[in-house]
Each structure stands twice: as structure tokens, then as C-alpha cells.
Amino acid sequence: MPIHIIDRRLNPGGKSLENRQRFLRRAKSLVQGAVKKTSQERDIKDVLEGGEVTIPLDGMHEPRFRREGGTRDMVLPGNKKFIEGDYLQRSGQGSAKNSGPGEGDGEDAFRFVLSRDEFVDLFLDDLELPDLAKRKVAQTESEGIQRAGYTTSGSPANISVSRTVRRALARRIALKRPSKEEIEELEAAIEACTDDDERLVLLAQLEKLKAKSKRIPFIDPLDIRYRRFETVPKPVAQAVMFCLMDVSGSMSEHMKDLAKRFYMLLYVFLKRRYKHVDIVFIRHTDRAEEVDEQTFFYGPASGGTLVSSALQAMHEIVRERFNPSDWNIYAAQASDGDNSYSDGELTGLLLTDKILPVCQFFAYLEVGESGGSAFDLSDSSLWTLYERLRNSGAPLSMRKVSERSEIFPVFHDLFQRRDTAQEKAAP
């Protein structure tokens, strides 16, 4: 009898993927709620990790006709001391199978693991980047070149030597073109030959071979192949994210933590939209400097506060390294709102003239001490300034935050479809 043994391990996996997606789609609102709850509890870094969520089973229950109650009979193994006619206490030992009513009700929640992508997808599901549509045209502006097989015509610079020679070789073999060695061998034989008759025969042969080798060229124009290129539209798939933060003495650890969470979320979001995301950290007191992440969040600094210094620094970095036609530029500024009064004018000017025109998006996050809700914060100097700018039409997003749990809603607000966001933002 024939027996087939088949190795299926290399078969493409993920056979259940579609069913799983259907399941998630069906349970979407439930899962989304669970994701929101879970993400509020965990560190932002772990947002990208996916993980286990629990949803109520109710919506996903598959009902069947089930019977319950009534008199029950059962046969069990392992009798030790019972004899016929004994009575057992219902809730006592010796009746392991006899749990009371409500048995099976324990599974009212359904736990399962979401992959990283699924988690983030659900998390960011109804968020939308501002002005994305506007930049869509710009995205396909640049064109790239891509190899696309071979062609029979083209510029000499694009001749594919290896392909051409390979084809020539195949043709020579197919047409039986005499090789150089063959001819040399025959010539040597003629040289060494003493018999005239034989010599004549060999000469004739040599003649024939030479003629044949002339008829069949080493490389025929037919053999030549050129490398073919195609132009493909290349989206601008890179973004740079500027993190601006006030690190003067008035910023507490708590405020920095809030800011950090906000930056990370922005990063997560950009990462999903763009292939390549650069981050530039600019911290400032009364002067600004570009620093690495560690210094940015944890490096000690002290001094006054000049916001314009940071904007100036950002403007210079953009000019030097990030051409706005190649990069999508995002900026997020976090501050406790302090700024010296004399700086207000300059800050406003820099922002409207230099920064905002090149930015896709500029968000300002005003962080406060924990305990004070966003309501209690009186408007700071920076907030007042930015608000004035926004009211005169500058595309700014701004929010006040003082608790960790407020980060997510804020983020959500900021990136909601533009129109609604603006309506909401207007106090």
C-alpha cells in the first residue's frame, strides 16, 4: 500500500488569520474598549507590545440548546467505602462532580492575546493625521528608478555583459561553432602530418571550420541585452519629528514624564505612517541645544526660559538637514507655559513665518503638576500667545494636561479629523 509522507511545515502559516480578523471585526467595539483600558494602565513603551486583553463573553457567545438541572445519574470510578443505599452529603467531600447551580457560569469573560499590530491598529483606529490629504500630492512628487528585467534595445551604457555573453554562448553551442582549440588542434595536426593526401583532407577540413566560425559570429547583435529600468513614483516616506521641551527649573519630573508619553505616542503614530522616522530632540532654557534622548529627558539643566531659542534652533536644523520637500516635518512642544515676556514677540514671529509654513503639524502641550486638573491652570504666557496666534488662523494644536491618564484622550483629540478638532478646541 502506498504511503505518502509529506512535510507541511513549510506551508504558508496564518491559515486562521482571516477567521481571526473576522472575529476581531465582530468583537471590535468590545476589543477596542478593552484595548483602551489596558493601554491606560501600561507604560507607553509597551503600547507597541500587544498583549492579552479580556472581553466580556456575552457578545461573542455561541448559544446552543443545553440542558441543566433535574435528577442526575452518574457512574464514577474509585469507590472506596460506599455500599448500596448510602447517602452522601451534597456539598461534602466525596462528591467532586457535584457542584451547585451556576456551574459553568465562571467563563463570562474571554481572554486572548492580540498581536502588536492588531493592538496598535485598534488603538489608533479612528485617529487621523492632520493635513495628510494635502500632502498626498506632494508625497508622490519624486520619482525613483527601479530595475525591471532586460530589453533588446537601449543605451550602450546599459548593456548587460553577463546576460549578453550567456546568450551568445548558448547560441554558439546550439549552432556548433568550432572553438578556437579545435582549430588549433587541427592546425597542429596538419603541421605534424607527413602524408600529402591526408594533409589535403585535413586542410579542407580546416577551411570548412574556419568558414563556419566566420559565418557564426562570436557575438551576434541578436545576443545583446540591455538592462531595463522603470521609473516608479516614490512617496516621501520619511518624517522627522521635532521634540521641543522646556527644561528650565520650573519643569518637574512629573511634567517631563507627561511630555515623554506624548512624544512617544506621536512617534508610534508616525512610525505607522512613514517608513523612516527621525527624531530631533531640542531642549531649551534660555538657550537651546540639540541633545540625545537621555540628556533630553534626564540631563540636568537650569536657567531662565526663552522659547524663541528653541524655535530658532529648530529652524536652523530644518534648513541644514531636513529639506521640507523631502521630509514630512512634525513638531511637538512641551512646556509648563513659562516664557519671559520680552520673548513673546519674537516667538510669535518665528512660529508664524519660519516654523509653521514648513510643518505638517505643530502641537503644543502644556503640562501641569499632578493634582491640578487642566481646568485649574490659569492661562500661562505661552498659552495666551499661542491662543492668539491660533485665533488669527495659525494651524496650531494645543492642549493642557496634568495627569497621566489624560494623555490618551488628548492625543485622540489632537489627531481627530481636523474640522471636529478645531470646533472642539475652540473654548
Partner 1 sequence: MTERLFEGADWDFHTLQRITDACETVAMKDLGLDVYPNQIEVITAEQMLDAYSSVGMPLFYKHWSFGKQFAYHEASYRKGLMGLAYEIVINSSPCISYLMEENTATMQTLVIAHAAFGHNHFFKNNYLFKQWTDADGILDYLDFAKNYVMQCEERHGRIEVERTLDAAHALMSHGIDRYPGKKKLDLREEEKRAGRRRQHEEEVFNDLWRTVPKGASKTRSAISLERRRKLLGLPQENLLYFLEKSAPRLAPWQRELLRIVRHIAQYFYPQSQTKVMNEGTATYVHYRIMTQLHQQGRISDGNFLEFLGSHTNVVFQPEFDDPRFSGFNPYALGFAMMQDIERIVTSPSDEDREWFPDIAGKNDVMGVLRDVWANYRDESFIAQFLSPKLMRQLRMFHLHDDPEERAGIRVDAIHDERGFRRVRRELARQHDVGYIDANIEVVDVDLSGDRRLILHHHVIKGAQLNETDAKRVLQHLADLWTYDVSLIEVDANDKVLREYVVSPRPITAAA
Q: At what angle do helices 28-41 and 407-415 cross, to 10 degrees?
A: 130
* Among positions 25, 176, 214, 215, the unique one binding partner 1 when judged by CB under 8 A: 25
Q: How far is CA 355 from CA 100, 219, 240, in A?
A: 70, 61, 14
- Please, which residue, 91 or 342, has the CB nearer to partner 1? 91
Distance CA 347, CA 312 (A): 9
3-state SS class at 64: coil
6 binds partner 1 (CB under 8 A): yes
How many other CB atoms are found less than 10 A from the CB of residue 393?
8
> CB of 137 within 8 A of CB of 233?
no
- Could you tell me the smallest distance in angstroms from the CB atom of residue 98 to partner 1? 6
- Please, which residue, 83 or 137, has the CB nearer to partner 1? 83
- Could you tell me the smallest distance in angstroms from the CB atom of residue 39 to partner 1? 19
5 binds partner 1 (CB under 8 A): yes
Which positions from 304 to 343 touch partner 1 by CB under 8 A, shown as an x/- string?
Answer: ----------------------------------------
Q: Which of the ranges 20-28, 142-150, 281-289, 292-300 carries the binding residues for partner 1, by CB under 8 A? A: 20-28
Q: How far is CA 83 from CA 79, 86, 90, 96, 107, in A?
A: 9, 6, 17, 18, 36
- Please, which residue, 92 or 371, has the CB nearer to partner 1? 92
Distance CA 125, CA 130 (A): 15
- Give strand pairing partners of 364: 333, 398
SS3 track for 195-251: CHHHHHHHHHHHHHHHHHHHHCCCCCHHHCCEEEEEEEECCCCEEEEEEEEECCCCC
391 binds partner 1 (CB under 8 A): no
86 binds partner 1 (CB under 8 A): yes
Distance CA 355, CA 314 (A): 8
Q: Which of the ranges 78-86, 169-177, 279-287, 309-317 carries the binding residues for partner 1, by CB under 8 A? A: 78-86
* Among positions 37, 42, 45, 111, the unique one binding partner 1 when judged by CB under 8 A: 111
Q: What are phi and psi of 104, to 5 degrees?
A: 90, -10
409 binds partner 1 (CB under 8 A): no
Distance CA 219, CA 171 (A): 9
87 binds partner 1 (CB under 8 A): yes
Radius of gyration of the chain measured on its C-alpha atoms = 38
Which positions from 35 to 54 touch partner 1 by CB under 8 A, shown as an x/- string?
Answer: -----------------x--
32 binds partner 1 (CB under 8 A): no
28 binds partner 1 (CB under 8 A): no
- Could you tell me the smallest distance in angstroms from the CB atom of residue 25 to partner 1? 7
- Please, which residue, 41 or 68, has the CB nearer to partner 1? 68
- Could you tell me the smallest distance in angstroms from the CB atom of residue 106 to partner 1? 15
97 binds partner 1 (CB under 8 A): yes
Q: Which residue has the cell 579545435?
A: 182
98 binds partner 1 (CB under 8 A): yes
* Among positions 32, 36, 56, 112, the unique one binding partner 1 when judged by CB under 8 A: 112
3-state SS class at 308: helix
* Among positions 75, 137, 174, 192, the unique one binding partner 1 when judged by CB under 8 A: 75
Chain mean position to CA 189? 72
Q: Which residues contact 209 (CB under 8 A, 6 or more apart)?
A: 178, 182, 183, 186
C-alpha cell of residue 258 = 507627561
> CB of 228 within 8 A of CB of 150?
yes
C-alpha cell of residue 218 = 562570436
Q: At what angle do helices 17-26 and 28-41 cross, to 10 degrees?
A: 90
C-alpha cell of residue 70 = 433535574
Q: Enter the DSSP assignment of 425.
A: H
- Could you tell me the smallest distance in angstroms from the CB atom of residue 36 to partner 1? 19
* Among positions 37, 46, 60, 303, the unique one binding partner 1 when judged by CB under 8 A: 60
* Among positions 28, 43, 44, 62, the unique one binding partner 1 when judged by CB under 8 A: 62
- Please, which residue, 84 or 196, has the CB nearer to partner 1? 84
- Could you tell me the smallest distance in angstroms from the CB atom of residue 97 to partner 1? 7
84 binds partner 1 (CB under 8 A): yes
Q: Which of the ranges 109-117, 140-148, 322-330, 395-403 carries the binding residues for partner 1, by CB under 8 A? A: 109-117
- Please, which residue, 80 or 180, has the CB nearer to partner 1? 80
Binding site for partner 1 (CB under 8 A): 1-9, 11, 13-16, 18-26, 52, 60-80, 82-90, 93-98, 110-113
